[in-house]
Amino acid sequence: MVTKPAYYDLFEGQRVELIGGQVFGKPRPSPRHAWTVSLLHPKLREFFGDGYVVCVNAPMNLGEDSEPEPDLMIVKGSVRSLTSHPTSAELVIEYSDSTLALDSGMKASLYARHGVREYWIVNLRDQCLEVRRRIVADGSEPFGFRYEDVQFFEAGDAVAPVAAPRSKIAVADLLP
């Protein structure tokens, strides 16, 4: 039997996620957001192949006070080996418009704290990809960690995930 966190019953039927003990509403995805995530999913499966699972809008267990639900995450293993929510990932991808401040602030620090090797924000506001790598301790961050290397890529660029270095993804394919 699966046990739900206590806050689930309070927010039944609402889109929320728990970050650092705070409940944040998740906006309903726009059609362009939803379709772009759907287009990217099979590409990521192809790029990463066996030994990795591409999860769409699935929860992560990042302690008692945090259960984010990234748009996409790539975790090592197989679907059958995932018996609980992942506690880290090789790559997390968030599509961000109205949640850009949360995604680039608290969530970036949270993911870094929990060893997410690479974090991408598809910035729908500025039509670019923000790639975050190299975790470092930083006491000024909400969760004590941050990504030291932050790069910005535009539609004409391509980027390869650290865990799949031979698989270049055209940034244009990430953008609606």
Asked, for residue 113, whether it belongs to a domain, the answer is: yes
pTM of the model: 0.87
**What's the N-to-C CA distance of the chain in angstroms?**
39
The number of distinct structural domains making up the chain is: 1
150 in helix, strand or coil? strand
Asked, for residue 120, whether it belongs to a domain, the answer is: yes
Domain of residue 68, residue span: 27-174
Q: What integer is the mean pLDDT of 97-108?
A: 92
Q: What integer is the mean pLDDT of 86-109?
A: 92
Residue 47, domain CATH: 3.90.1570.10
The answer to which of 8-12, 48-52, 103-107, 133-137 has the lowest mean pLDDT is 8-12
Asked, for residue 4, whether it belongs to a domain, the answer is: no
Q: Is the pLDDT of residue 1 over 50?
A: no
- Alpha helices (H) in 86-176, listed in sequence order: 100-104, 106-113, 171-174
